[in-house]
Amino acid sequence: MDKLVVVGVDTIAGAGIAQALKDRTDLLGIAFHGTGGAAFATKHVRRGDGIGLAAAIEGAEPDCLIYAGPLSAANWDLPAADPAWEHEPAMAEGLVAAARRLNAKLIAISSDAVFGGPKLFHDESEEPAPTHPAAETIVECEQVFIAGGALVARTHVYGWAPAGSEPGLVEQIAQSLLDGLVPPVDGWRYATPLLATDLAEFLLRAAERNLSGLYHLSGAERTNPYRLAGELARILGVAMPRNLSVHLTPPSDSGWLLETSLDSRRIRRALDMPLPLLGEGLRRFAEQRSTRAATPGTVAQQAA
């Protein structure tokens, strides 16, 4: 891809994708709030302003569009409610129309929150279990994108939050461990996390191979926040708190976050790329901390 527009660089997914690809393409980031990415050109568009968004995209004349909106958040990070969701179906339709006018490849990042368990390793043929409040809207947007010829990457992304955005669970765990505090972990939510910058590498190959339709794209290992915290503590060279109490069963009102692990064998075969192991992604995540801390205004720096 020669010219790329990443819409949603104020999300964890969008920021990580843009950071990974900014030196390999002529990239424009579009943010709806916050400062988005400080290391690449960024335009700001008010959410719901379809005309302004279309103008920003078409002015860049990209050959590829990547959309990472609020519904790209991993199930561990997706809130129970967000007024931004109401704009997402219309946003999807507008992006499909813009991609068609430009004859550009369109890639949309979706969330594993469409599942809730108890089945392990959900594949693309499985019917979503609409138990999360956002699940029906996620599926509606996926259908719009797929009908428009886009590639939909359903994943569980983590990474460092861009300036002005809330940190995700993995960043919260890292900061707690570094501060010697009890990390916000449990032993009952299972997923297959994938670092946002690693996700970008798969998307680049997928664009080169002109993939379309729905693909699950996640890390190679199923884990829960407690196990992830232990692995991350080892990588960071810090100790897990001794007074850590781990909840192994879900609270009665939160059972919809039990099991969202994804089976990504189809994308692995299509791209001929191995999925990263948990420790591999977390090591890269830890290495990115120094870069994030050196960038003025990032959440990592504010929390340090």
**DSSP letter for each residue of 241-262:** PTT-----S--TT-GGGSB--B
For residue 242, the model assigns a pLDDT of 82
Query: How far from chain centre, in Å, is Cα 238?
Result: 26
What is the structure's pLDDT at 301? 34
Spans of the chain, pLDDT less than 70: 34-38, 130, 247-257, 291-304
Q: How far apart are CA 218 and CA 26, in angstroms?
A: 26
DSSP of 135-148? HHHHHHHHHHHHHT
At 196-208, the pLDDT tens digits run: 999 999 999 999 9
Residue 152, beta-bridge partner list: 108, 214
Query: Given this model, what pLDDT does residue 211 score?
Result: 98
Residue whose tokens read 């979706």: 110
pLDDT in tens, 224-239: 999 999 999 999 999 9
- Alpha helices per DSSP H over the chain: 12-21, 50-60, 88-102, 135-147, 169-178, 196-208, 225-236, 265-271, 278-293, 299-303
pLDDT value at position 248? 66
Q: Which domains does the chain have, with CATH numbers?
A: 3-168+191-224+259-281 (3.40.50.720)
Q: How far apart are CA 153 and CA 143, in angstroms?
A: 12
Q: Say if residues 226 and 171 touch (Cβ distance below 8 Å).
A: no
**For tokens 């830890």, what's the residue?**
286
pLDDT on residue 128: 87
Q: pTM of the full predicted structure? A: 0.92
Question: What b/e readout covers 133-142, taking b as 16+ CB neighbours within 10 angstroms?
Answer: ebbebbeebb
The reported pLDDT for the residue numbered 300 is 36
Residue 39 has what pLDDT?
A: 80
pLDDT of residue 47: 87
Please report the pLDDT score of residue 58 as a whole number.
94
- If we measure between CA atoms, which residue out of 221, 233, 258, 229 comes closest to residue 245? 229
Q: What angle do CA 131, 109, 160 make, to 5 degrees?
A: 95
